[in-house]
Amino acid sequence: MVDSSRTRHLVMTSLSHGRAGRFSPLCEARTPVRKLLLLLQLLSPPWLKKALLRWGWGAQVGRGVRIGWFSVVSGKRVELGDYCHILSFSQVRCGAVHVGAYSVIGNGVHIYGPACFRMGRHSIVGSESQINVWEDVRIGDLSALGSRCILVTHGVWLPYTEGYWVKFAGVTIGDRVWIASGVFIQPGIHIGNEVFVNAMSVVKKDLSDGTVAEGYPARPVAKMADLKRTMTPERLNAAVEAMLRHFGDAVLTREWGLRVDAATPGRLSFRRKGREGVIVQVPAADSGPRIEIRDPKGLRATIDLATMRTPLPRDPFHAALVQFLRGYYGLKLEYED
């Protein structure tokens, strides 16, 4: 049974932005109630999982959150930010769970342990990755772990009583960090901001801000600042034009089978189900570049590449373009309120 005297004294606990999370008496219940709730969440369709999280775990679930088939999220405190996605066949079961707005946890991910897992905005944990949360794990904003990465916060196998070593320590990954596929991160590691770790590396020591690292063990080999281009208005316009041309080829033509007229630079015109559509690049000026999606009746939507803001898509062309720019080119677009 639930200890009612205990649950009455559970305090509201902030997880982010000063908003309070809360405990649910049901999530504190011992087996078989807890197992039943987890089983219900595991087998329920995606649209029902959010309601179960609110009811069974007292979770804060933002707008547009998606939780895929056969995925489970649980914790004494759970907060899922606006438009975050947890894809299918994933488990996130920790003492406390915070997934920031627009972040993604891929297919087949396993995040587990009694401590706190905190993930910032616009971040990604790639498919089939594993994160051990025996101690706290923090992933900052705009950061990514590629597929099949492993992050551990404790290391032990041979008996400690026989003199073998053991280590328990949390892991922190900063903002704008790119961890490529297959990287192993050991306990106690701190990775700074603006860092790239190349694929199949083993991170055994801290990495400072602005570092490019690779190898076993991962060692600095370059500076991020040396690899970035300075984006002039001309280069920015050329980049937008290239992205639109790629979208026309990869999505409109190859995926949707449409005939696309791309003869005019920065302009795609096409027809689908009798509807004419036009996607137009508006070059960078004082306010920065933007992309406009139009039909014969007028403007339907704008993607502002200076502010990285766009309306919530209600048109398939707009939705596909937003997803393409996020997935193929790393643009951190957000929806207008």
Residue where a domain stops, chosen among 170, 201, 226: 226
Q: Write out the two tokens for 154.
A: 């404790």
**Total domains, the chain:** 2
- The pLDDT assigned to 167 comes to 93
Distance, CA of 174 to CA of 255 (rounded, Å)? 36
Lowest mean pLDDT among 87-96, 153-162, 192-201, 279-288: 279-288
- The pLDDT assigned to 313 comes to 92
Q: Which residue has the tokens 């020591």?
A: 205
CATH number (domain holding residue 220) = 2.160.10.10
- The pLDDT assigned to 300 comes to 83
Distance, CA of 221 to CA of 114 (rounded, Å)? 36
183 and 206 assigned to the same domain: yes
76 and 182 assigned to the same domain: yes
pLDDT at residue 249 is higher than 60: yes
23 and 55 assigned to the same domain: yes
- 155-176: per-residue pLDDT in tens? 888 999 999 999 999 999 999 9
Residue where a domain stops, chosen among 177, 192, 226: 226
Distance, CA of 132 to CA of 136 (rounded, Å)? 9
Burial class of 16 by CB neighbour count within 10 A (0 to 12, 13 to 18, 19+): middle
Distance, CA of 136 to CA of 26 (rounded, Å)? 24
Quick one: pLDDT band at residue 298, thresholds 50, 70, 90?
low
- The pLDDT assigned to 18 comes to 33
- 109-153: per-residue pLDDT in tens? 999 999 999 999 999 999 999 999 999 999 999 999 999 999 999
Residue 319 structural domain: 233-335
- The pLDDT assigned to 23 comes to 44
95 and 240 assigned to the same domain: no
- The pLDDT assigned to 296 comes to 61
Backbone angles phi, psi at 110, to 5 degrees: -125, 110
DSSP 178-218: EE-TT-EE-TT-EE-SSEEE-TT-EE-S-B-TTEEEETTTT
Radius of gyration of the chain (CA): 23
Lowest mean pLDDT among 89-93, 141-145, 233-237, 282-286: 282-286
The pTM (predicted TM-score) of the whole model is: 0.86
- The pLDDT assigned to 100 comes to 98
Share of residues in the chain with pLDDT > 70 (%): 89
Q: How many CA atoms lie within 13 A of 142 on its CB side?
A: 13
What's the rounded mean pLDDT across residues 214-224? 96
Show Cβ contacts of residue 201 under 8 Å, excluding neighbours closer than 6 positions. 180, 183, 184, 213, 214, 215, 216, 217, 218
Residue where a domain stops, chosen among 226, 242, 261: 226
pLDDT at residue 285 is higher than 90: no
137 and 164 assigned to the same domain: yes
**Cβ 168 vs Cβ 154: under 8 Å:** yes
**Cβ 191 vs Cβ 207: under 8 Å:** yes
Give the chain's end-to-end CA distance (angstroms, integer).
42
215 and 264 assigned to the same domain: no
- The pLDDT assigned to 25 comes to 45
- The pLDDT assigned to 191 comes to 99
State which H helix or E strand residue 25 sits in. helix 25-28
- The pLDDT assigned to 288 comes to 76
Share of residues in the chain with pLDDT > 90 (%): 75
163 and 277 assigned to the same domain: no
Q: Write out the two tokens for 124.
A: 């990604």
DSSP, collapsed to helix, strand or coil, labels residue 219 as strand
pLDDT at residue 241 is higher than 90: yes
- The pLDDT assigned to 3 comes to 44
103 and 162 assigned to the same domain: yes
Quick one: pLDDT band at residue 32, thresholds 50, 70, 90?
confident
Handedness of CA 311, 312, 314, 315 (dihedral sign): positive
Q: Rounded to the nearest 10 degrees, what angle do helices 233-247 and 316-329 cross at? A: 120
147 and 191 assigned to the same domain: yes
Distance, CA of 78 to CA of 98 (rounded, Å)? 6
Going by their DSSP bridges, the two strands 110-119 and 137-139 should be labelled as parallel
Between 275 and 234, residue with greater pLDDT: 234
Query: Helices (DSSP H) in 113-269: which residue ranges?
Result: 224-227, 233-247
- 306-331: per-residue pLDDT in tens? 999 999 998 888 999 999 999 999 99
Lowest mean pLDDT among 25-29, 200-204, 249-253, 303-307: 25-29
pLDDT at residue 30 is higher than 90: no
Amino acid making up residue 210: G
- The pLDDT assigned to 34 comes to 77
pLDDT at residue 289 is higher than 80: yes
290 and 204 assigned to the same domain: no
59 and 204 assigned to the same domain: yes
135 and 281 assigned to the same domain: no
Average pLDDT value for the chain: 89
